[in-house]
Structure 1
């Protein structure tokens, strides 16, 4: 005679089989946890049962890692693992009690270990990818608005999980792991991140592959914090940041025109536009660092693309309704105007840095008719703080030890193409010596200017807190 089944457990008035021992029971529990009242009344023993299934199923994954031929026999285990993660993911939505109960069972450590095993399998089965994604979603939800859980996630996941996931070919895995990294950061953990620059490189590479994803974009700001910080780059930092510089410059060259989406009547691709602007910020800081400047000054296509973009932005600004207009009339709610603020200033600043003591780049700007464009950009513009100062800085770097560019500006003044009062305001004057016009500057020798010098830091609004993946079905 068969042993009697244990009586079912009661969860907020709904009968749940106990012990949980099959896929259908897990799915029923996952569905129950979509309701806030069920999450709030869930007994801790439920999560222990789910964890037991997760541990038992993970043994099949461990075996497949040791014996690759076993991968073909993972289907049933992967289904159970996926549903365990979905169940735990849903249980954590806006429920700190469940977050704490699940964390205290050491479920986070089990989940991270299992996710690392997924990466080790190196197969592209859809069932494996689904389990992988759900595992990351669970980590994201248990860390959401819960400092204690964030600390434990960071302890188990940093840096191995992020190094493993940020360069994964699956877009959702990259996005989810970026979100976990972003959610778990604190001032103390920021220092750990700054010390592990390989993750910063992976973040930029992830953004390059997926410019529409908001999480890698948000993490670009961490690069600015490191480069613009008070502590100089160490000898060990420089080689890593040179690789980083290549990724940033390449991404900017490839996608910088995405910022023009903001000129549309109904802007689209705002995430890509935001990414472009943050990439520009990173490049400005990188070119203010003498260890990185030389590499970026010769990066293929970078200077040309910056001048091209400045020309397009300047032309767009002639429309008084444009977001790039000096008197922009679009001041509606949202982040678009804040995103565009300072963009022209930073383009001109980058041109000035790229031309610092570099004759080839000075001449290239002249050949591309960039000097008249820069001079024409000088004026009062509430959307571009310190625009005149950056124009002065760029012109000084363009004309230092470059008689050709000096003659060009002098002739522009003589022909009425350059306002002499504007030149004087900028600290320049044209003097005629015989048949020759000389552009004179009363200023000091040009120097690289960092953001801190002119206090041109843009204020960014924080991304909204993640509210949980209650409806995600990867």
Structure 2
């Protein structure tokens, strides 16, 4: 069980720039991995493709799959979803604006700089786990299935987040009965209202 998340009393002004850099790095890894897969399909098999390289890379005993999962979990708590112009907390209830909470969306003046972050990270997770059962299992063991399922929602700050999360969930479940059992065991505890906000039942 994870401890309750408490937002910091103040935000580092460099955090939006770090977010933008992370989006660019993520997009580079996605492009390299997809290009490598395309080259493998049309050329002789390489010793190691980029998907395997990124899946095997570790830092302090954490692989990229575990790091992506934890980062997505924290981002879902830190950055409320924006739905119909209103922030929505991770539990689905409407969020009240706070002084530390980003309130604007998009790339215009005053933008928070967090656009596309969750979308690109979940997309990378889906690409890395595609067709590799060992990586699918690692994602399950670190709670990645639940994190990805929580991202199957509309978020105006992350266009197409829901579609990328559904694609990632498909890649996590494909050919993996253990992961499928995790999803089957999860029962809905509420329903979406007409405003797209989750209501507990």
Q: TM-score range by the shorter chain?
A: 0.5 to 0.7
Which residue of 12, 15, 24 corresponds with 1:278? Answer: 24
1:311 aligned residue: 73
Taking structure 2 as the reference length, what is the TM-score of the superposition?
Answer: 0.65
1:354 aligned residue: 128
Change (3 A) 1:329 1:297: same
* Residue 40 (structure 2) pairs with residue 295 (structure 1): no
Change (3 A) 1:303 1:329: same
1:365, CA displacement in angstroms? Answer: 0.9
- Rg bigger for which structure? 1
Cα offsets for 1:20-74 (capped at 9, x unmatched): xxxxxxxxxxxxxxxxxxxxxxxxxxxxxxxxxxxxxxxxxxxxxxxxxxxxxxx
* Residue 143 (structure 2) pairs with residue 372 (structure 1): no
1: CA distance, partners of 2:156 / 2:177:
34
1:29 aligned residue: none
Matches within 5 A, 1:17-416: 265-269=10-14, 270-289=16-35, 290=37, 291-300=49-58, 301-316=63-78, 317=80, 318=89, 320-321=96-97, 329-330=103-104, 334=109, 336-337=111-112, 339-413=113-187, 416=188
2: CA distance, partners of 1:273 / 1:388:
20
Quick check: which one's strand share is greater?
2
Change (3 A) 1:383 1:273: closer
Change (3 A) 1:362 1:320: farther
Q: Is the 1:412–1:418 Cα contact (8 Å) retained in structure 2?
A: no
2: CA distance, partners of 1:305 / 1:417:
28
Instruction: Give unpaired runs (5+ residues) of structure 1.
Output: 1-262, 422-474
1:404, CA displacement in angstroms? Answer: 0.4
1:391, CA displacement in angstroms? Answer: 1.1
Q: Is the 2:23–2:116 Cα contact (8 Å) retained in structure 1?
A: no
Quick check: which one's helix share is greater?
1
1:379, CA displacement in angstroms? Answer: 1.2
1:60 aligned residue: none
2: CA distance, partners of 1:282 / 1:355:
17
2: CA distance, partners of 1:296 / 1:375:
23
Change (3 A) 1:384 1:273: closer
1: CA distance, partners of 2:11 / 2:56:
37
Name the SS for the 1:288 alignment partner: helix
Instruction: Give unpaired runs (5+ residues) of structure 2.
Output: 1-7, 38-48, 81-88, 90-94, 193-201
1:461 aligned residue: none
2: CA distance, partners of 1:331 / 1:409:
32
Name the SS for the 1:374 alignment partner: helix
Q: Output the aligned Cα RMSD.
A: 3.0
Count of residue pairs the alignment pairs up: 153
2: CA distance, partners of 1:418 / 1:404:
25
1:321, CA displacement in angstroms? Answer: 3.7
1: CA distance, partners of 2:164 / 2:148:
10
